[in-house]
Structure 1
Amino acid sequence: MKRVMKWALIALLLGAAAFAVLLWQQGPTLKGPPTGPADVPPPPVAATEPETHYPLPEAKTEPLPTLEKSDVPLLSALGDLIGNAAVKQFIQPQEIVRRIVVTVDNIPRSVISAQLMPTTPVPGKFRTTGKGDNLAMSALNTERYTSFVRLLERVDSKKLTDLYIHYYPLFQKAYRDLGYPKGYFNDRLVAVIDHMLQAPQSDGPIMLEQPHVFYKFADPELESLSAGHKLMLRVGNDNAARIKKKLREIRGELVRASEEAKTKSK
């Protein structure tokens, strides 16, 4: 059981951060980021408790660590699974749960915080072709993301969901600490997955501009997209389709777990 939980744990961290990990590098997705969770403007607080659309069952297992003390057991489990060297290479060692929650919440926004990524940067540089009016995103740029997509595809969606439910109280606390005192993180997660599933495809070369340090999409319509939708354009149509397939699996498991929780509560 412990080994299953460890596999699910790495799946959770990589799955929940699958989009965010790719946003670190220079490119049209990244803009001047907020410095921390408190800088993300929360929605208006409702006078009454909002309806929960996707409630999760309460996991009856061993006690969880507090959110503040969760990094050590999470890093230890990851070290047992993929090795300490890999953990140091791919995982940011502080505030893992909070980083995931902030990143998931920011994916549908126009700005995402590079400082709060749960994972380390994608290797290699953002690739372009041409100059001036012919500056475009290189098709070779998508190769930087292939290893992450392959890893995501190997994640068992059922184990991922079970692990997520197990650790859900920590994610819920981090979400409310972010500025949503009456929010339910699982509802936000499902909404973000739906948002990513609606990401457009590119019909040809994506033209760019570089007014300053970072690149921008030359097409104003593309530049106005959310950080998550820009990411899906950057990874390329093939990688995006593979990511969406895994997201549909995860969403299905989340909905299944939610329906079971609703049935038991009646």
Structure 2
Amino acid sequence: MPQSDPTELRPPRPRSRRGPGWLLLLVLLAAGIGWYAWNVRSSASGAAAPGATDTQQAAVQQPAPTDAAPGAEPQEGEIQNPIEEPLGEQAVLPALDESDVDVGKELAQLLGGQRAGAFLQLDAFVRRAVATVDNLAREQAPARMWPVHPMPGRFTVHEQGGAQRIAAENSARYEAFVALAESVPAAAAAQLYARLYPLFQVAYEELGYPGKYFNDRLVAVIDHLMASPEPAEPPAVHLVSVAGQVQSLQPWVRYEFLDPQLQQLSAGQKIMVRVGLDKERRLKRVLAGLRAQVAKAAPPKAGQ
């Protein structure tokens, strides 16, 4: 597929003084903690997630959303949340297909080489990040396109009041990622996102969004995640039966929320609920700070 020149996708410098945002932070806190998302269809079929070599093709072939998709950005042609071009002379960005090395170096400098390698899938990172952000407001966020490595441990439940509920100790598995999200240096990450933004825009248009602005989608997804419900107690879940003679080697991925309203949530909102109330609220504080960096439009009012 012919690629656009990234430098052509930078909008004129807006008058707003708001700084650009930190896409990496959203990916870490939302995609990373959700590795063990409940994907009944994939576990039922027994299909393994494709390797990294499939990432580019999978991302390009991902269908565009309908206008009614949760967290869809405004449909007007005008950019709602423009990213300011960094001040001063900037290095020429590589083409998206050739950007892995440069992006990997930037992420290693931001997070430290050891943490970047431990947490992130650095191959095709930009495409992975864009596809994951776009998918968080949808029913499923395919693991094969996530920009993070799987987390240790597994999803656990316990019996309470005649029902299986998410175990309290399950929340502890997410502490490292939540702490990392809280520790990302905002100013440095904002500058990195601004420098690399044309690459994210190219990747977004590859998904089937010509003329759409990726940062508007990012802000819409942040607002969607901020609207996640906050159950007062760990939600009840049940194990989905799978027909067939071949048993799943990972039965814990076949849990669904017992509450139909929770089960109808998007992949991203399910992740927010699944981490536990305390960590969900911590993540929402991080998201609020992230939104202040990336957004020019006012947040939606409660209940909208």
TM superposition score category, shorter chain reference: 0.7 to 0.9
1:176 is displaced (CA, Å) by 0.3
1:16 is displaced (CA, Å) by 2.8
Q: Which deviations, in whole Å up to 9, do the C-alpha atoms of 1:174-212 show, x marking residues without a partner?
A: 000011011100000000010111111012131111113
**Contact between 2:24 and 2:189, CA under 8 Å: does it hold in 1?**
no
Aligned mate of 2:170, from 136, 141, 145? 141
Query: Which residue is 1:201 aligned to?
Result: 230
Give the secondary-structure state (helix, strand or coil) at the position aligned to 2:295: helix
Say whether residues 1:130 and 2:159 are aligned partners. Answer: yes
**Contact between 2:40 and 2:240, CA under 8 Å: does it hold in 1?**
no
1:87 is displaced (CA, Å) by 3.6
1:91 is displaced (CA, Å) by 1.5
Matching residue's letter, 1:248:
A
Say whether residues 1:41 and 2:63 are aligned partners. Answer: yes
Aligned mate of 1:16, from 12, 27, 50? 27
Query: Which residue is 1:50 aligned to?
Result: 77
Query: Which residue is 1:171 aligned to?
Result: 200
Whole-Å separation in 2 of the counterparts to 1:187 and 1:204: 33
Matching residue's letter, 2:27:
A
Does the C-alpha gap of structure 1 residues 119 and 222 become closer, same or farther in structure 2, counting only changes over 3 Å? same
Give the secondary-structure state (helix, strand or coil) at the position aligned to 1:136: strand
Query: Which residue is 1:223 aligned to?
Result: 263
Whole-Å separation in 1 of the counterparts to 2:194 and 2:175: 28
Give the secondary-structure state (helix, strand or coil) at the position aligned to 1:18: helix
Q: Which moved more, 1:33-42 or 1:189-198?
A: 33-42
Whole-Å separation in 2 of the counterparts to 1:159 and 1:135: 43
Give the secondary-structure state (helix, strand or coil) at the position aligned to 1:246: helix
Query: Which residue is 1:91 aligned to?
Result: 120
Where does the alignment leave 5 or more consecutive residues of structure 2 unmatched?
A: 1-21, 43-48, 51-57, 68-74, 242-250, 299-304
Matching residue's letter, 2:214:
F
Matching residue's letter, 2:64:
P
Q: Which deviations, in whole Å up to 9, do the C-alpha atoms of 1:200-243 show, x marking residues without a partner?
A: 10121311111134110111111001111111111111111111
Whole-Å separation in 2 of the counterparts to 1:204 and 1:146: 19
Matching residue's letter, 2:262:
L
Q: Which moved more, 1:81-90 or 1:63-72?
A: 81-90
- TM-score norm. by structure 1 comes to 0.82
1:138 is displaced (CA, Å) by 0.3
Query: Which residue is 1:247 aligned to?
Result: 287
Give the secondary-structure state (helix, strand or coil) at the position aligned to 1:17: helix
Give the secondary-structure state (helix, strand or coil) at the position aligned to 1:208: strand
**Contact between 2:181 and 2:286, CA under 8 Å: does it hold in 1?**
yes
Whole-Å separation in 2 of the counterparts to 1:166 and 1:79: 15
1:244 is displaced (CA, Å) by 0.9
Whole-Å separation in 2 of the counterparts to 1:90 and 1:189: 21
Which runs of 4 or more aligned residues in structure 1 lie more than 3 Å from their structure 2 counterparts after TM superposition? 30-35, 77-88
Does the C-alpha gap of structure 1 residues 242 and 205 become closer, same or farther in structure 2, counting only changes over 3 Å? closer
Whole-Å separation in 2 of the counterparts to 1:200 and 1:143: 20
1:136 is displaced (CA, Å) by 1.4
Matching residue's letter, 1:249:
G
Q: Which deviations, in whole Å up to 9, do the C-alpha atoms of 1:53-89 show, x marking residues without a partner?
A: 1112223511112211111122234445655554433
1:42 is displaced (CA, Å) by 0.7
Where does the alignment leave 5 or more consecutive residues of structure 1 unmatched?
A: 1-10, 260-266
Among the aligned pairs, what percent are the same residue?
A: 38
- TM-score norm. by structure 2 comes to 0.73
**Contact between 2:33 and 2:174, CA under 8 Å: does it hold in 1?**
yes
1:44 is displaced (CA, Å) by 5.9
1:173 is displaced (CA, Å) by 0.3
